Structures are given as structure tokens and as C-alpha cells.
Amino acid sequence: MSDLDAAFAAMAESLILHGPDGRIVEANPAALGLLGLRREELVGAASIDPQARAVHPGGAPLALDEHPAMICLRTGEAVNGRIMGIETPHAGLRWIRINSRPMPGGAVSTFADVSDHERLIGELRASRDELQAILDSVPARISAWNADSTNRFVNRTAALHFGVIAADTGGRHARDIVGPAREESARLYVHAALAGRRSVRDSVEWPAGTMRYSQVSYMPTYRDGVVVGYHVLGADITVLRNSYERIRDLAQRLETIREDERRSVARMLHEVIAQDLAAAKMSLDRLRAGTAGAQEIAAVYTNLNQALSECIERLRRDANDLRPAAVDHLDLRDVLNVYVSQFALQSGLRVAFTERQRFPLLDLTTRLLFFRAAEEGLANVQHHAHATRVDIVLRVQAQRLRMDICDDGVGIPDGAVDKPGCFGLLGMRERFNARGGGMSVWPRLPTGTQLAVSLPKGRGALEKNLNRSRATPRN
């Protein structure tokens, strides 16, 4: 064996010699081992042979005239760094990086196994696609920028918000993506992020004439301990902001109601009770003078008795309006029966109450919650629905206790519950939500409105007393 043959055989890099027609005339042991073929199987074969199927990186078959050696022979120019797959019966699919160069009487191809590298690239590509899908599904605007404010990435939410195509944003400057106004308003926060500080700002925009609130965070991006760019996370907080405003309005409304109740109680005590008691005192003063006869004493007694009776009756009525005493002593069914009867007499509406399934005994807080919901629902029907009939239904579902209030009135517009000033229904929804329940309002067909409130079945129920209480006859 000559020194050249020995060097050829000892090469670690795979090498193949091609004749002028592209057929393989020689291959070193490294090439044979990589391809998993014997010398007699490879020598004399075309560059693309049935035993060694070639494919593009994407998996499509590689045609004969696309093989680097054939391109080299056809053009007379070297082909470097081409990635291709070679699939053989013994070695399976292997990925190689191949270089082909022309030489007198043919061409030479050298190649190296990059299967592990390509596998890692494939896994990295799959991970990147998975991360892209995750980021695109996040309901927040996520973007990444270089230190010069050129873009590296935007997710789908950000692209929709800025009105751009995500695939076209790479390398573009921020002002071309978010617009000059947004870029200018964010400049101070970008400078802070590039200085290594995280910052947050609130922004207000008016897309399609509707005010939207956002909270935008700017965070530095580090590489080897050096800031090389920044990330931006923008979240739409309109719903949260509106909820805070509704709660704040509700708190103010509750304070107003509290003051109105105090004023009403003070007026009742001052203008009615106090005056009746003052009149009674004047009558007693006349008796004290000792000048009254038996007939006058009888008249004073009658007036005192009537004034005190009226004071007692008014105090009881007003106290019951503030907090019905029946709620403290009766179960929900009996409380609603009493209240519905009184409401029907006062309002002139036909009100029907039904207990579809036996409601469990409830604790005082839960009874009061359902009662106030019925009170608010009936008040809304009386003032706004222009209805003639109302039905209140208690029902026990699989996992919930539910009360429905249905009327035959004019119906409720969409979004009416969320309108400013709708404090009664808003407060009711918040109270039920706070205990794991909920409130829903929707139109009925052909006309009217249905309001439903519910709580989890075990919430507030005194189950251990249910059977004993139901078995006890009522007097």
C-alpha cells in the first residue's frame, strides 16, 4: 500500500471520489462506516443510488442533479456546507454536512456526520414552536426587543393589538411596529430597562372609541451579565379597573344609603315619636297640676294610650323595614311567604311563591342573603319592569341552592346590570360571588326578565337539623 493509499484509508473524515459522470470510483473506510455500506455496494454506484436514498433537510427526496457532486461537475464550482440526509438499509437515516470540489477527471466529496446536531436542531425547533404556541395563547401582549429597539419577537396578542403580522416584525424598529406615539410614551421606560431597572406604567387607549386600560411592564434582557435588550409585557386591565371603579362606587353608594337610613330614623324619632311623646308629656303635666276632673283624666288616659300605641306600632314597622324580625326566627320558606304576601298587597302585583324542592335549613347569614336578594329583585320589578305578575321559585339542584325571580314585564337590556348606578344588583352579585355563588339575569320569552341567584349546596345549610326540623309540626 502506498503512502497515499495509507493516508486515504486513515482519514477520519469521510471521502468519496466521483468520476466525470458522477459515479463513485472510490470511498475511504470512514465513508463506508458512516453509510453502513460495503465497498462493492458503493463503488460504481451513482451519487444517488437506490441503496442510499438522499433527502433534503425538510424530508423531500433529493434529485440526482441536486446532489452537491453533480452540481460541482456541472458548474465546475465548489459546493460547501450542504446539509442532506442519506438513508441506507443498514445505517438508517443519517444527516451529513457535505463539501464537493472539482478535480481533474471528476470531483471529490468530503462529509461529516451531523445527525446529533440536526436532531438537536429539530428538538430546538420543536421547542421553539411549542413556546411560540404557548406565548400566542397567553391573553397578554408579549414582545422582545434589542437594545436599539429593533424587534426580536411579538406574540399573536401583541401583533393583533399593534395591527401587524408577527412574522414580519423581526428586525423592524419599535416606531414602525407600535407607532410613533406609543414609542415616544414608552421611551423613558425603555431607557430604564436598558439601565437594568424593571418599570411599570399604566396606559389608556381608545380603540374603536372604547376606552381600554393597560398595565405595561418593561424588563431588561441579560446575556452574560450584560443588558442586551428588553422585554415588554402588556396586560389589558380594563375589566379589573372597571370592577375596582364599580366597587368604589358601590362603597360610596352604601355610605349614602347608610346616611339616608340614619336621616330617616332621625326624622322618624324627631318628627313623629318625639312629638307624640311631647304631647303625652303635656297631658301628664295637666294631670300633675291637680286641676283635672274625672272626665278630663279619662280623656288624657285615652290620648296617652293612643299616642303610645302609635309610637310602638311605628317603631315596630320601621324596625321591621330595616331588618325583618321574621328572618331571625323562621326558615327561608316562611320568611318569603310572609314578605311576598305583604309585598303583593302594597304593590298591587300578583306574586306567587313556590318551593320546588324542600330547601335545607339555612343559617341566619344565608337566610338574610337570599331574603335581601328577593327584596331587591321585587323592588326592581315594581320600579322598572311594568309587570303584572312575579314568580319566586326556590329549587335545590345537584350542587347548588337556587332562587329564581321571574316577571312578565318589558325585559332587561343587555349589559344593564353593569351600567353605572345599578348598585342594587351589583351589590347582590358581589355578595353571592364572595360566598362562592353567583347571580345571572337574562330576558325571558316572549317578554319579561328572569333573575337567578345561587350558592353551593353546603354553604350555609344546617343539614344536621334538617330532618328533625321538617318532622316538627308547626303551630
The confidence band for 291, taking pLDDT boundaries of 50, 70 and 90, is low
Residue 80 C-alpha cell reads as: 460547501
Q: What percent of the chain has pLDDT over 70?
A: 86
Exposure pattern of 371-403 as b/e (b: 16+ CB <10 Å)?
bbbbbbbbebbbeebebeebbbbbbbeeebbbb
CB 416 within 8 A of CB 393: no
Residue 84 to residue 76: CA distance in whole angstroms: 20
Q: Region 270-294: what's the mean pLDDT?
A: 70
Q: Is the pLDDT of residue 290 over 80?
A: no
State residue 383 phi and psi, 5-degree precision: -90, -25
pLDDT tens-place string over residues 391-410: 999 999 988 999 999 999 99
Q: What is the pLDDT of residue 75?
A: 94
Report the CATH fold assignment for 139-236. Beta-Lactamase (3.30.450)
**Comparing 60-64, 147-151, 208-212, which segment has the lowest mean pLDDT?**
208-212
Which of 3.90.180.10, 3.30.450.20, 3.40.190.10, 3.30.1330.10 is the CATH number of 3-120? 3.30.450.20
Q: Does the pLDDT value for residue 268 go beyond 80?
A: no
CB distance 79 to 62 below 8 Å: no
Within 10 angstroms of residue 317's Cβ, the number of other Cβ atoms is 11
CA–CA distance, 28 with 39 (Å, rounded to integer):
9
Average the pLDDT over 292-313 and give the result.
76
Please give the average per-residue pLDDT across 433-444, as a whole number: 90
d(CA 44, CA 89): 18
Q: Please determine, for residue 471, whether its predicted confidence score (pLDDT) is greater than 50.
A: no
Q: Is 80 helix (H, G, I), strand (E, B) or coil?
A: strand
Q: How far apart are CA 154 and CA 136, in angstroms?
A: 9
Q: Could you tell me where the beta strands, DSSP code E, fall in 131-186?
A: 141-146, 151-154
Read off the amino acid at residue 381: V
pLDDT value for 419: 59
Question: pLDDT digits over 97-129, tens only?
Answer: 999 999 999 999 999 989 888 888 888 888 888
Asked if residue 422 has pLDDT above 80, the reply is no
CATH class of the structural domain 326-471 = alpha beta
**Spatial contact of 381 and 349, defined as CB atoms under 8 Å apart:** yes
Residues 210-227 have pLDDT tens digits of 889 999 999 999 999 999
Mean pLDDT of the chain: 84
Amino acid (1-letter code) at residue 26: E
DSSP H or E run through 315: helix 294-322
| Of residues 475 and 454, more confidently modeled | 454
Q: Is the peptide bond before 360 cis (omega within 30 degrees of 0)?
A: no
Of the listed ranges 190-199, 245-254, 359-368, 405-414, the least confidently predicted one is 245-254
Residue 384 in grid coordinates = 322598572
Rounded Cα gap, residues 347 and 340, in angstroms: 10
**pLDDT higher than threshold 80 for residue 288:** no
Beta strands in 339-464 (DSSP E): 350-355, 389-396, 400-407, 438-443, 449-456
Cα-atom radius of gyration of the chain, to the nearest Å? 43
146-155, 329-338, 376-385, 424-433: least confidently modelled range: 424-433
Q: For residues 83 and 95, is the Cβ–Cβ distance under 8 A?
A: yes
